[in-house]
Chain A
């Protein structure tokens, strides 16, 4: 393999990695603070993508329409899932974990049907914003500009969440509630609303992931389920609830897939499973995880 082939493959792996990270980061956050497995996460990503498709079309595929879409569509999807959290998911936090699994799985199925009903069976792709319809040059190689933008957004969102968690008073409250929700409540903090906010933040990350994917991938209702599986693999490799772990695990998965495709094209996706199996054998609690107990 030449150096330039390597670079191209690396960049394409990085693009995939960022999509994986955006899918998995919200799941990681929700798992880390609420200690629940949110199966609906893939559905949120999928609805974020479809909603953005609709808005990008509505705004006539313009540049400003794209930016407006990025601002509006994920927020709308987030608001919807906050309502779902308040009315459906919230009441099961203190129940055995199976309730949440069934509940969020049910929500996933509903998002699937919702997408089928609203957007139909035919695969959709949003128009690429004009400003991104040109290549980006690195070391004499040409790479889609939009992919570079996506990689940038992935890192940006990582630092954004990291900043919220570690540098704001909101983050302090979130970490306290993650450590000990009863003690946090006894200090006068309304933990159910903290959970809604964290759930909403997690949903927003997945929805913006979907929004960013809308102009570059074919959208179908199935993408929610696929995204759910990928997020699950990433989170397992990362260690449950670790955000830097999720970034690293996404990077590994994206690159393994990008280079795996050169070796065994039909089996590229299987390499991710292989990584997961190896990690589970060598370090069952994941790369960055500590042993976590989920009720």
Chain B
């Protein structure tokens, strides 16, 4: 098991958001965390990344406890984070933000390989982060995280706000990543592209686990879908 999240309770200030979320992810798997608006997907991912530290529980990455460590240490340990709001650096050029994120790690990602996956970025190298479109920003933010050569990639709602054609291209690119043995966690509100790519799904609602299983089982379960997912 590469990641083992066990019974985490996370707060924003005094408001209690996650009520004992647990996730088990095996090496090389692609899993998705599904849930409606405000279900706690982002908070779960931020908890794993050490950006919002859970108050109790345990998060083990490759057997080692990472709960309580700083985001920078967790990133160096091999977890990559792609935020839902992309967070490209407005004052760095596309090339610069790829370079700044580069570190040694699990894979062999570098500028050339990122441009291989996202050829379009190559033409935008000199553009500043705030001079590119939303879809381009999504490619950049994924490419940027890949430059850090993570072993586990957390992708928070990567399809959000993208045109259907762009989402299709993105799905293709994520399939290519899956061939690289990288472990991927995707989040999404409904049954879209994440569930198609995954071999394991976790459904959460109001900060609690509701269900987990294979995507096929989930697709059959009308009750579950209507109760917890945005359709």
Contact = CB atoms under 8 A, between A and B. Distances in A.
B101 interface: yes
Nearest to A172: B100
B6 interface: no
Interface string B33-47: 000000000000000
Given A169-B99, A169-B100, A191-B72, A186 B49 contact: yes
A180 B76 CA distance: 18
A122 to B, nearest CB: 47
A246 to B, nearest CB: 17
Contacts of A188: 72, 75-76, 101, 103, 148
B202 to A, nearest CB: 22
Given A185-B72, A188-B72, A179 B89 contact: yes
Nearest to B144: A187
**Range, interface on chain A:** 10 to 19
Given A172-B99, A182-B51, A187 B145 contact: yes
B100 A183 contact: no
A184 B100 CA distance: 9
A185 B70 contact: yes
Interface stretch (B53-61, B90-98, B118-126, B158-166): B90-98
Interface in B59-76: 70-72, 75-76
A184 B89 CA distance: 9
Given A172-B92, A176-B89, A186 B75 contact: yes
Nearest to B130: A179
Contact of A183 (B76, B87, B91, B99): B87
B207 interface: no
Contact of A187 (B70, B75, B91, B129): B75
A175 interface: yes
A187 B92 contact: no
Contact of A185 (B75, B90, B96, B103): B75
A180 B148 contact: no
B89 A183 contact: yes
Contacts of B96: 172, 175
**Range, interface on chain B:** 20 to 34
A190 B103 CA distance: 13
A122 B191 CA distance: 78
B51 A187 contact: no
B12 to A, nearest CB: 14
A76 interface: no
A109 interface: no
B72 A182 contact: no
Contacts of A184: 100
Contact of A176 (B71, B72, B75, B92): B92
A97 interface: no
A172 B99 CA distance: 8
Contact of B100 (A176, A185, A186, A190): A176
Given A169-B100, A187-B148, A188-B72, 4 more contacts: A176-B92, A180-B89, A185-B71, A189-B100
12 contacts: A169-B99, A169-B100, A172-B96, A176-B97, A182-B71, A183-B83, A185-B51, A185-B71, A186-B51, A186-B75, A188-B148, A189-B72
